[in-house]
């Protein structure tokens, strides 16, 4: 008898189904599931994995491979959105700049060669440094000059590709040395595509950095309330700055991976409109676009979901530039559905309906 | 005695206060003097490329009439403390729709006008509703709008469609000569300054906007909403409707801008209007519009556009052929002016460096102290 009386404590926690519905990962997982089911129906050999040229290939490894750039960029974007409530629009341009630095160092003055002019590692490092410098620029504007992140990054968003074009002297750089493709395709002897390994490594790295150090906690607290976190002694400027630099470095890494997988540096094409995908992935992962709490897992699942959607739409003969229409509509729907005002209106509407139903049996309504 | 001495030689800041020059005035002054300075420099540096001619000056307006429309729209939105980056996409979409409409369906050219207004209106209503009534961040909304418009362009047509409709082309190539403003060429003919119909339309709309923002209730409520929404609310201004109307106005102006762009470059091209949003924003910001809202004048935007136009004309003369340089320089100008604004704003707040979050960045979190 005593035991049954303790029951009211359980009322405090919501029922399992409701908790499941309100969990941040649910939405993205459901979308992913829908895409996967749709793919299974249209392509019977969806789960088939085979070996070609010493590489594991198939639909799923393909999606994982193509999503790797997006995943890396999304991780940085997640931190930026969490810390500032704004987005970093310049990630695509940073990718182009980083790859251009790398390509310039490797190729020297020539634009089509198979000889490395500088050590490979040095070129990769300089590429990352270029991305980091762009991040420093953005971070300086946002944290020091208090410019809203979107305007600050809009500068590089438009100027960045032109700068990258200047770095490569307006040409597409072709790097024919097979070593260059190690990063983006395959290291000889390893059966898994390097891009997948790199993206997984970076996911683990970012997760560890945000979970093991207090950076993740600091980013959330600055994102939730900047001045309050300053009052408790956090250097919110430095944390914002750091988030933008991390985002820049990650975007640079994505640029290196992206250019390596095609074996060339094309500043006009590399990472084109990836910022939209990254924002979409962050939103799809259940992260609040107004800043604050974030979930790396959600963002990663969001990114893979976006890539799955993209690949599916490609299979349905939708062109790359037309994809943006779908993505724009999806992002608006997600944001409208998660906006407080909309939720409030829906709540009021259902309450209104409910009260009407209640009074349906009453006399007052019958008279009307 | 001492009082008169003080007024006779006041410190610069006091002089500014004395003359009643607000932030708006100072920023406008900087813009106009920058334009004059740039023009004089290019006059001296490139003496043989005709900067002293009237026609060259008027061509600065002729070639950027569409940008003036976009920048004016962005100005209106920025004054309310919001932002719109879909204007470039709308421009491209309008030009593509007009091209396809005229060339593939053979519609009368007159329908280009309602079509462009309609596209602008549709974008404005949807974006305005989402921003004003559902209180979603304008940047996200208009970014989606931009991608939507860009995607729609290639859904409609992925190839370039040159326009050869005779009546449209006659509008496009018409010139309205300005009497008495001419230079005599070496061979004795007169090089008369002219304006295109597009430029005239842009100037008319500019004048209407100047008057509307200064004199009408709507114009004044725009400044009130952008300057301090709280007090605007206490004054009885409908903030949501004002923001909604600002977005509708901006997108309609973007639609008109698309029409003027098509008149300037008569072809529908998937790349049309690419990056125009940054040109429009930088023109507004260079013209003295504060990104935080509440400050800005359409006349300043005109000078911002003229500076952009001048940069585009001067850069090739420096021997740089690459088309990407004007945009880099324009972005650099934007950067400088944003920094300038930040300095101004921090200097005007007494309590040192305050967080300068614009109004649309202030989330509805009730316990946020950093407003």
Chain B nearest C-alpha distance from A206 (Å):
26
Q: Is the pLDDT of residue A195 over 60?
A: yes
Mutate to test the interface with B, among A91, A141, A148 (most CBs of B within 10 A): A148
pLDDT for the residue B121: 96
- For residues B186 and B53, the answer to whether their CB atoms sit within 8 Å is no
Which segments within B80-188 are labelled E, that is strand? 161-162, 176-184
**Residue B6: partners with Cβ closer than 8 Å, 6 or more residues away:** none
Among A108-117, B120-129, B359-368, the range of highest mean pLDDT: B120-129
For A203-222, write each residue's pLDDT tens digit: 999 999 988 988 889 999 99
Among A266-280, A282-296, B297-311, the range of highest mean pLDDT: B297-311
Average per-residue pLDDT in chain A? 83
> Backbone phi, then psi, for A250, in 5-degree steps?
-65, -40
Residues of A in Cβ contact (< 8 Å) with B275:
158
Q: Do B363 and A225 touch (CB under 8 A)?
A: no
Looking at the complex, does the CB of residue A85 fall below 8 Å from at least one CB of chain B?
Answer: yes
d(CA A229, CA A206): 22
Which tokens is A273 given?
A: 């409109």
pLDDT grade for B10, boundaries at 50, 70 and 90: very low
| Domains in chain A: ranges and CATH | 66-347 (1.10.3470)
Q: Is the pLDDT of residue B321 over 80?
A: no
Q: Which residue has the higher pLDDT, A338 or B208?
A: B208
d(CA A344, CA A157): 35
CA angle A165, B323, B287 (to 5 degrees): 110
Among the residue ranges A132-136, B305-309, B362-366, the one predicted with the least confidence is: B362-366
Looking at the complex, does the CB of residue A333 fall below 8 Å from at least one CB of chain B?
Answer: no
Please tell me the CATH code under which domain B24-348 is placed.
Answer: 1.10.3470
d(CA A17, CA A187): 46
d(CA B364, CA B20): 35
Mutate to test the interface with B, among A328, A335, A343 (most CBs of B within 10 A): A328
Looking at the complex, does the CB of residue A318 fall below 8 Å from at least one CB of chain B?
Answer: no
pLDDT mean over A138-163: 86
Q: What is the ipTM of this complex?
A: 0.74
Q: How many CB atoms lie within 10 A of CB A62?
A: 14
pLDDT grade for B170, boundaries at 50, 70 and 90: confident
pLDDT grade for A247, boundaries at 50, 70 and 90: very high
For B101-156, write each residue's pLDDT tens digit: 888 888 888 899 999 999 999 999 999 999 999 888 888 889 889 989 988 998 88
Q: Percent helix, strand, coil in chain B (nearest 5)?
A: 70, 5, 25
Closest CA to B92 of B167, B131, B173, B147: B147
d(CA B260, CA B203): 12
For B48-90, write each residue's pLDDT tens digit: 777 777 888 888 888 899 999 999 999 999 999 888 989 999 9
DSSP bridge partners of A175: A113
d(CA A129, CA A134): 9
Q: In angstroms, what CA-CA distances link A232 with A216, A218, A227, B221?
A: 16, 11, 9, 39
Q: Which of B136, B291, B369 sits opposite A228 (nearest CB)?
A: B369
d(CA A233, CA B198): 57
For A277-329, write each residue's pLDDT tens digit: 898 888 888 787 778 888 898 899 989 988 888 888 888 888 877 888 888 88
pLDDT mean over A188-214: 89
pLDDT for the residue B251: 96
Closest CA to A165 of A310, A67, A270, A53: A270
d(CA B286, CA A357): 58
For A66-100, write each residue's pLDDT tens digit: 899 999 999 999 999 999 888 898 999 999 999 99
Entry pTM: 0.80
Taking the domains of chain B in order of start, what are their residue ranges? 24-348
Q: Is A271 helix (H, G, I), strand (E, B) or coil?
A: coil
Greatest C-alpha distance within chain B: 80
pLDDT for the residue B22: 62
pLDDT for the residue A107: 82
pLDDT grade for B358, boundaries at 50, 70 and 90: low
């Amino acid at each position: 008898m005593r035991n049954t009386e303790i029951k009211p404590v359980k009322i405090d926690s919501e029922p399992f189904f409701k908790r499941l519905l309100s969990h941040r990962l649910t939405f993205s997982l459901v979308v992913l599931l829908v895409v996967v089911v749709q793919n299974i129906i249209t392509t019977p050999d969806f789960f088939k994995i085979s070996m070609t040229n010493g590489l594991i290939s198939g639909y799923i490894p393909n999606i994982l491979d193509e999503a790797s750039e997006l995943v890396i960029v999304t991780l940085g974007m997640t931190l930026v959105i969490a810390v500032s409530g704004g987005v970093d629009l310049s990630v695509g341009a940073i990718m182009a700049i980083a790859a251009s630095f790398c390509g310039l160092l490797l190729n020297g003055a020539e634009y089509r060669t198979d000889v490395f002019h500088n050590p490979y590692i040095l070129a990769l490092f300089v590429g990352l440094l270029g991305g980091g410098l762009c991040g420093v620029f953005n971070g300086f504007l946002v944290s020091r000059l208090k410019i809203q992140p979107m305007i600050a990054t809009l500068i590089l968003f438009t100027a960045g590709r032109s700068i990258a074009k200047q770095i490569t002297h307006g040409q597409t750089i072709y790097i024919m040395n097979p070593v260059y493709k190690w990063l983006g395709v395959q290291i000889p002897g390893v059966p898994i595509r390097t891009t997948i390994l790199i993206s997984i490594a970076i996911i683990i790295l970012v997760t560890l950095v945000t979970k093991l150090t207090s950076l993740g906690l600091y980013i959330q607290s600055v994102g939730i309330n900047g001045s309050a976190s300053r009052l408790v002694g956090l250097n919110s400027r430095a944390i914002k700055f750091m988030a933008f630099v991390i985002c820049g470095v990650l975007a640079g890494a994505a640029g290196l991976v992206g250019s390596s997988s095609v074996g060339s540096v094309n500043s006009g094409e590399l990472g084109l409109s990836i910022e939209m995908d990254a924002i979409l992935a962050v939103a799809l992962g259940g992260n609040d676009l107004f800043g604050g709490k974030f979930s790396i897992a959600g963002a990663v699942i969001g990114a893979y979901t976006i890539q799955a959607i993209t690949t599916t739409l490609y299979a349905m003969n939708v062109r790359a530039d037309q994809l943006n229409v779908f993505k724009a509509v999806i992002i608006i729907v997600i944001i409208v559905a998660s906006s407080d005002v909309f939720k409030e209106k829906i709540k009021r509407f259902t309450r209104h309906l409910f009260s009407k139903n209640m009074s349906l049996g009453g006399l007052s309504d019958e008279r009307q | 005695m001492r009082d008169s001495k003080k007024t006779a030689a006041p410190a610069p800041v006091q002089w500014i206060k004395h003359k009643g020059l607000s932030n708006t005035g100072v920023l406008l002054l900087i813009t106009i003097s920058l334009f004059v300075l740039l023009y004089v420099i290019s006059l001296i540096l490139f003496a043989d490329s005709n900067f002293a001619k009237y026609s060259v000056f008027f061509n600065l307006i002729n070639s950027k009439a569409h940008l003036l429309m976009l920048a004016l729209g962005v100005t209106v939105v920025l004054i309310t403390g919001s932002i719109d980056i879909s204007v470039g996409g709308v421009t491209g979409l309008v030009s593509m729709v007009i091209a396809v409409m005229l060339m593939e369906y053979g519609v009368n050219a007159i329908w280009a006008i309602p079509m462009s207004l309609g596209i602008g209106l549709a974008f404005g209503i949807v974006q305005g509703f989402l921003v004003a009534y559902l209180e979603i961040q304008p940047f996200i909304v208009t970014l989606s709008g931009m991608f939507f418009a860009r995607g729609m362009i290639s859904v409609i047509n992925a190839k370039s469609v040159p326009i050869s409709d005779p009546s449209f082309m006659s509008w496009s190539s018409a010139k309205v000569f300005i009497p008495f403003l001419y230079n005599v060429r070496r061979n004795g003919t007169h090089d008369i300054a002219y304006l295109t119909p597009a430029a005239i339309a842009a100037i008319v709309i500019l004048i209407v906007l100047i008057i509307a923002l200064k004199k009408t209730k709507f114009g004044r409520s725009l400044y009130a909403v952008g300057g301090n929404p709280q007090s605007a609310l206490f004054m009885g201004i409908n903030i949501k409707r004002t923001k909604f109307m600002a977005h509708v106005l901006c997108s309609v102006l973007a639609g008109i801008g698309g029409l003027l762009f098509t008149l300037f470059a008569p072809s529908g091209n998937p790349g049309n209007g690419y990056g125009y949003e940054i040109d429009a924003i930088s023109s507004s910001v260079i013209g003295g519009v504060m990104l935080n809202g509440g400050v800005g004048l359409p006349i300043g935007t005109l000078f911002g556009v003229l500076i952009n136009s001048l940069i585009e004309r001067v850069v090739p003369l420096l021997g740089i052929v690459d088309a990407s340089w004007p945009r880099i320089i324009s972005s650099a100008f934007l950067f400088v002016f944003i920094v300038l604004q930040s300095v101004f704003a921090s200097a005007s707040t007494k309590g040192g460096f305050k967080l300068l979050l614009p109004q649309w960045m202030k989330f509805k979190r009730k316990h946020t102290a950093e407003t």
